Structure 1
Amino acid sequence: MMKVLEWIKTNPFFIVAGLLAIVSVLLGDFSWVYINFQLLVTLFGLMLVLGLFSASGGLNYASFRLLAWANNSRVLIQALILLSFLASFLLSNDVAVLTLLPLYLNVLYYLPKFNGQVLGAVLIVLAANLGGVFFPFSNPQNLLIYQTFQPSFLDFITWTGPLMLVGLILLGLASFKVDKLAISKQKQTATVSWSLAAYASLGMLLMVLAIFGVLNVYWTAGAIGLAVFIFGRKYLLQVDYMLLLTFACFFIIVGNLSQIIWLRELLSTYASQLSISYWASLLLSQIFSNVPTTILLLPFSQDYPALLLGVNIGGLGTLLASMANLLGFNIVRSFVSMDTRAYLRTFLKVNFSFLIILAVFFYGGLCLLLS
């Protein structure tokens, strides 16, 4: 009984999402089409190769190099924020969080007196969300909108560029709130399994090629998974399967919502309006996450900039607002010295501050430019 209660306590989002998915299926139906398998398989492959890299000791090695480079904790966090921001341009916000947040948490082992660890983690996740708004291929919601409306590349980044730049300015200002602690330059050594690190690097390269469409993502992730199963199946246990199932449940919920006749009529009538498309996408993202929200509203929106800005800004706010947020929370929760409640409080405070500022500012810009 205690193990069941502990499991429930450890997986609250999956339990809630699972129950809602079951209710939606009972009231509607079940279809595999509702689930974005490409996104889930991509995340599986990335979690697997990053787990291999962590097991190789590569995180320790990278942590020592960062500590040797930085003069103080604030400079270190600012560098990681910028890396997270820039990495999400090309590799998506999810990949940036999966890659850089474990590195940051590993660095904290060697900064026991650093008081800004919670804020640092929050800003790294926030940076991934804000950097990932820029290119059409930077995140799934952008790609869905770009493929549906087919604007020119220049027109697309004309809308996302200002959001990216304003987000970077806000991040820069927020980073000065990070505790400034001198870093000791004591020489550190790390034991690294270079062969395992090489396999992990090769796996990451293959997954990046799959993300860009050079390779088939299903075959790529499947080949990596098969290789790991044959040569080191224990590493398969490092994948967060509950998180993948949580997002599968969200896709099922949204898929059934999109089939409700009165809801479709409501969306068809009102979601084409600029203001409603913008605010509905922003607010629904807080509940269903921005990728499922995009799938729900995409058939009914006519002004793609309103939907585009709404779901990207809507990725800030709650833990459910974007996949990167939940990934970040699950990574932080596994870090024993991090106060999860303190992280959640700081996360919500900072995210909603950014959300309100960006939502109001860009709504004004939308009304001015599209009126």
Structure 2
Amino acid sequence: MVTLFKPFLHDRFLHLMVILGIVLAIFAPFRLTELPGAVDWHTLITLCGLLILTKGIELSGYFEVLGRRVIEYFQHQRALALALVAGAALLSTFLTNDVALFIVVPLTLTLRKFSSLPVSRLIIFEALAVNAGSLLTPIGNPQNILLWGHSDLSFFGFIWQMLPLASALMVCLLALTWFCFPDHIIQRHAPEEAQGWQRRLLWLSVLLYLLFIAALECRFAGWALIVVIAAYLLMARQVLLRIDWSLLTVFIAMFIDVFLLTRLPGVHAGMTQAAHWSDGARYLAAIGLSQVISNVPATILLLPFMPASQLFAWAVNIGGFGLLPGSLANLIALRMAKERRIWWQFHLFSLPMLLIALVLGWLIYLTLRAA
């Protein structure tokens, strides 16, 4: 039980979200019965399932096996960083940004055991990569799913709409990766005796992973989560005890805080004026609001007042860069890293990327509109 509850006591970000919620509750009119509806339970169920399944694969020991092979294949830091960043971006286009992180980040963490790589910086760039890569497709992230559903575009029509921005941002991100990771030979640690890995736990986790992804597509996520939990209770109970359950509580607190924020007097009235804003004002508003409440809630809040246009789609995806709350994927990646310094180091790269994306997005939009 100590293992289960210890993260809640040391989670400063969770404590901050709870305090913020209490302050907002003082000024925002609401009923307690409205709070459960403020939480996106589908997102919570999805995140919970992925946390459990990834932990199962991690505890099987297979990430260490894979990490050894990666270190043996790549000789230079820059080549490895470019491969991981490009791989994270590619995975995020069809597996969604959070799923891509649950695959790439645990693998990256195992590299620390075999080499002196700057693992924290790699994870930061992987978080930036999934934000850039996932914006390309209508299934890459939750905000795109929402926008696609409110538009008249086909699947490939949406991709064509997002392609100019996605291409430009990936070129910039890969260039930034090139400059931030030196072409030094990877310094490997003295080889350790290879530890055995649990094939039974690995295959159980992979099978459940495929089942869970299929269930998500068929909208049976809740039932699939019950199956996943029951399977681990029967066959690998230690997996459930090692989950970062406080992360799920952080997400619940964030959803409630956003709900209370939207109930503040004057906020809703201000949103109704969005229909009369210029393109530039809408662009900056969507990016700015994403920095404060994350791009998915920002999309939900603004969608009734703004058309699901190309500019709006670009803006909320650009809003995933910058400050930590810009994208929930940022929080997932940094939490998995389990390192204090990474929280401020993230902004050294994410804020410049936000500025680059903001300027590039607007210039490309003006160019396309003038053509």
TM-score, structure 1 normalization: 0.89
CA shift at 1:146, angstroms?
Answer: 1.1
Contact 2:283-2:311 at 8 Å conserved across structures: yes
Matched letter for residue 158 of structure 1: W
SS of the residue corresponding to residue 320 of structure 1 reads helix
Distance in 2 between residues matched to 1:136 and 1:261, nearest whole Å: 34
User: Alpha carbons of 1:68 and 1:357: their partners in 2 closer, same or farther (altered >3 Å)?
Assistant: same
Alignment of 1:143-154 (within 5 A): 143-154=145-156
Distance in 2 between residues matched to 1:39 and 1:226, nearest whole Å: 20
Contact 2:93-2:136 at 8 Å conserved across structures: yes
Matched residues, percent identical? Answer: 27
Unmatched 5+ stretches in structure 1: 1-5
Contact 1:73-1:183 at 8 Å conserved across structures: no
- Describe the superposition over 1:35-71 as per-residue Cα deviations: whole angstroms up to 9, x where unpaired: 1100110010001000000000011111011112212
**Structure 2 residue aligned with 1:66:** 70
SS of the residue corresponding to residue 299 of structure 1 reads coil
Distance in 2 between residues matched to 1:186 and 1:272, nearest whole Å: 64
Contact 2:61-2:196 at 8 Å conserved across structures: yes
- Describe the superposition over 1:87-128 as per-residue Cα deviations: whole angstroms up to 9, x where unpaired: 10111111111221111111121113x3x3332221111111
Distance in 1 between residues matched to 2:369 and 2:249, nearest whole Å: 39
- Describe the superposition over 1:71-97 as per-residue Cα deviations: whole angstroms up to 9, x where unpaired: 222222221111111110111111111
Which of the residues 284, 305, 309 maps onto 1:304? 309
CA shift at 1:159, angstroms?
Answer: 2.7
Distance in 2 between residues matched to 1:205 and 1:7, nearest whole Å: 29
2:284 is aligned with 1:279:
yes
2:105 is aligned with 1:101:
yes
Matched letter for residue 77 of structure 1: A
Of stretches 261-270 and 314-323 in structure 1, the one that deviates more from structure 2 is 261-270
Contact 2:144-2:313 at 8 Å conserved across structures: yes
SS of the residue corresponding to residue 88 of structure 2 reads helix
**Structure 2 residue aligned with 1:172:** 174
Alignment of 1:33-182 (within 5 A): 33-112=37-116, 114=117, 116-176=118-178, 177-179=180-182, 180-182=184-186
Contact 1:80-1:124 at 8 Å conserved across structures: yes
Contact 1:272-1:302 at 8 Å conserved across structures: no
Of stretches 265-274 and 306-315 in structure 1, the one that deviates more from structure 2 is 265-274
Unmatched 5+ stretches in structure 2: 1-5
- Describe the superposition over 1:188-220 as per-residue Cα deviations: whole angstroms up to 9, x where unpaired: 734111110001101211222133x23511111
**Structure 2 residue aligned with 1:10:** 10
Distance in 2 between residues matched to 1:197 and 1:50, nearest whole Å: 10
Distance in 2 between residues matched to 1:249 and 1:28, nearest whole Å: 17
CA shift at 1:368, angstroms?
Answer: 4.6
Distance in 2 between residues matched to 1:82 and 1:39, nearest whole Å: 25
2:298 is aligned with 1:293:
yes
**Structure 2 residue aligned with 1:221:** 225
Matched letter for residue 233 of structure 2: F
Matched letter for residue 257 of structure 2: I
Contact 2:89-2:129 at 8 Å conserved across structures: yes
SS of the residue corresponding to residue 224 of structure 2 reads helix
Contact 1:85-1:132 at 8 Å conserved across structures: yes
Distance in 2 between residues matched to 1:188 and 1:202, nearest whole Å: 29
Which of the residues 178, 193, 210 maps onto 1:205? 210
SS of the residue corresponding to residue 75 of structure 2 reads coil
CA shift at 1:187, angstroms?
Answer: 9.1
Distance in 2 between residues matched to 1:263 and 1:327, nearest whole Å: 28
**Structure 2 residue aligned with 1:3:** none
Distance in 2 between residues matched to 1:354 and 1:140, nearest whole Å: 21
CA shift at 1:139, angstroms?
Answer: 0.6
Contact 1:123-1:175 at 8 Å conserved across structures: yes
Matched letter for residue 178 of structure 1: F
**Structure 2 residue aligned with 1:323:** 328
- Describe the superposition over 1:212-231 as per-residue Cα deviations: whole angstroms up to 9, x where unpaired: x2351111112101221233
CA shift at 1:303, angstroms?
Answer: 5.0
Of stretches 343-352 and 355-364 in structure 1, the one that deviates more from structure 2 is 343-352
